[in-house]
Amino acid sequence: MRKQRTIQNEVTASGKGLFSGVDAKITFKPAPQNKGIVFLRTDVDPPVAISATVDSLITKDRRTALGKGELVVEMTEHCLASARALQIDNMYIEITAFEMPGFDASSLDYFKLLRKAGICEQKAVQPKLVVKEPVFVSEGDATICAMPSMSENLHINYDLDYTQHTGIGRQLYSSDITEINFERNLAAARTFLLEAEALQFQAMGIGKHLGPKDILVINSDGPIKNSYRMPDECVKHKMLDLIGDLALVGVPLVANIAAYKSGHSLNQKLALKLRNQYLRHIQMEKTGTDALLDIKRIQKILPHRYPFLLVDKVLEIIGDQEIVGLKNVTYNELFFQGHFPTTPIMPGVLIVEALAQISGLLFAQRLENTGRIAVLLTMDGVKIRKPVVPGDQLILRAKTKKVRSRTAQCRAEAFVGDSVVAEAELKFMLMDD
């Protein structure tokens, strides 16, 4: 275990946003221990602080954006990758616009700036997440998995598969993420686009200030009016992005990451799952339970009480998009007295009710829904696939499909082990308590 670190001196730089072309000034400042990395939008009064963790994620194509309310900071990944490589745990990043400077579309300038600021140790010990069981996410044929590591570092294996594009091809790279390796092999790797993508973006008014000399635009013959800094620059930039996205876990990782065709969206999903794993670990140390929400906290959100509270604890929360909870089914349940005395089976309607309750906990993760109750409106595609009996552990999973100001919709499933026992599309009215 090591001590926490921040920067010694204030440093400032300016540049244009890579996507928007907006002028932005950034100032890196030391931060106290246990603060983490915090972006400060100083172009508003009072300044708004945005924490560099998955809790602040905002969905944007091809970049990592963080936000609070209506204010965002975009293109944070190159800066955060450099901070993680230099093991900077606490830092304020003041910014005067909504997008970080793009510089040369790599992390090199950020790395040099932060090293110039100097690094100093603080008194507090820096916690870390040691991955002890595989965590896997996928989208189509793209996959990424975090596995236990034999070393004390974050190790990444990245497989970039552009075999259909001869200008890039298939590239593989593997490395421990240390300061030396990052500086020598990763920091200078630049963002790249296929020629068709670049034309599409400029038609949409994105990146109009850029030309082929400012960013890698690749056709079937390779970079247009440019050249690679290294033969495998594309895969190294993908790894750089991944390091920046995984920094949103909020603590250093000790893991072996295997990625295939992974981009920001998939990276962020993995970071969300790892953040939940870390929070469960902290919760276990504090309370002896791995619940992100225990029964006391659930009762502060849901109005249900005995015998109708059907969620015992919440194990995983992925922003406001997905939730996983648990209901222990025992023979002492009130409904088993009559359903059925000689062959006890949990009523299917109560399994659906449990799914509705876990969905209500999911919608409550949105700040604007605090104090609201999710009242069930409709149930579509309901299927009760297998009986649930005493001794079963019912895993409840809900994924957001649509949330509006007064209504919300989700896809919900209940499992026993790996088997789906019930599923439904649920729609709710969000009502003031």
Catalytic residue among 165, 209, 304, 339, which?
Answer: 339
pLDDT in tens, 92-102: 999 999 999 99
Query: 305: Cβ–Cβ under 8 A, 6 or more apart, which residues?
Result: 299
Helix (H) or strand (E) holding 246: helix 233-246
DSSP letters along 139-190, please?
Answer: ETTEEEEEE--SSSSEEEEEEEEETT-TTTEEEEEEEE--HHHIIIIITTPP
Query: 12: Cβ–Cβ under 8 A, 6 or more apart, which residues?
Result: 25, 26, 27, 28
Cα–Cα nearest to 85, from 179, 6, 7, 174: 179
- Rounded alpha-carbon distances, angstroms, from residue 433 to 44, 201, 218, 264, 330: 33, 45, 55, 37, 31
DSSP letters along 377-390, please?
Answer: EEEEEEEE-S---T
Fold topology of 3-287? Ribosomal Protein S5; domain 2 (3.30.230)
Concerning whether 339 is annotated as a catalytic residue, the answer is yes
Residues composing the chain? 433
Q: Which two tokens stand for residue 279?
A: 């929070």
Torsion of CA 141, 144, 147, 152, to 10 degrees: 150
Backbone angles phi, psi at 114, to 5 degrees: -70, -35
CA distance 73 to 128: 25
Residue 110: burial class (beta carbons within 10 Å; 0-12, 13-18, 19+): buried
CA distance 56 to 50: 7
Query: 109: Cβ–Cβ under 8 A, 6 or more apart, which residues?
Result: 13, 15, 101, 103
Half-sphere exposure for 407 (CA within 13 Å, toward CB): 7
Helix, coil or strand: residue 270: helix
DSSP letters along 56-82, please?
Answer: GEE--TTS-EEEETTEEEB--HHHHHH
Q: Which two tokens stand for residue 298?
A: 């659930």
Q: Taking CA 359 as the corner, what is the angle to CA 336 and CA 270, rounded to the nearest 5 degrees?
A: 120
Mean pLDDT of the chain: 94
Q: Which CATH number fits domain 295-432: 3.10.20.30, 3.10.129.10, 3.40.50.2000, 3.90.850.10?
A: 3.10.129.10
What is the domain partition of the chain in residue ranges?
3-287, 295-432
Residue 150: burial class (beta carbons within 10 Å; 0-12, 13-18, 19+): exposed
Structure pTM?
A: 0.81
Residue 364: burial class (beta carbons within 10 Å; 0-12, 13-18, 19+): buried
Helix, coil or strand: residue 195: helix
CA distance 417 to 421: 10
Cα Rg of the chain, angstroms: 24
pLDDT tens string for the chain (433 positions)?
799 999 999 999 999 999 999 999 999 999 999 999 999 999 999 999 999 999 899 989 999 999 998 899 999 999 999 999 999 999 999 999 999 999 999 999 999 999 999 999 999 999 999 999 999 999 999 999 999 998 889 999 999 999 999 999 999 999 999 999 999 999 999 999 999 999 998 888 888 888 888 889 999 999 999 999 999 999 999 999 999 999 999 999 999 999 999 999 999 999 999 998 898 888 778 777 778 888 999 999 999 999 999 999 998 888 788 899 999 999 999 999 999 989 999 999 999 999 999 999 999 887 666 778 899 999 999 999 999 999 999 999 999 999 888 999 999 999 999 899 999 999 999 998 7
CA distance 136 to 257: 10
Task: Please give the pLDDT value at position 170.
Answer: 97
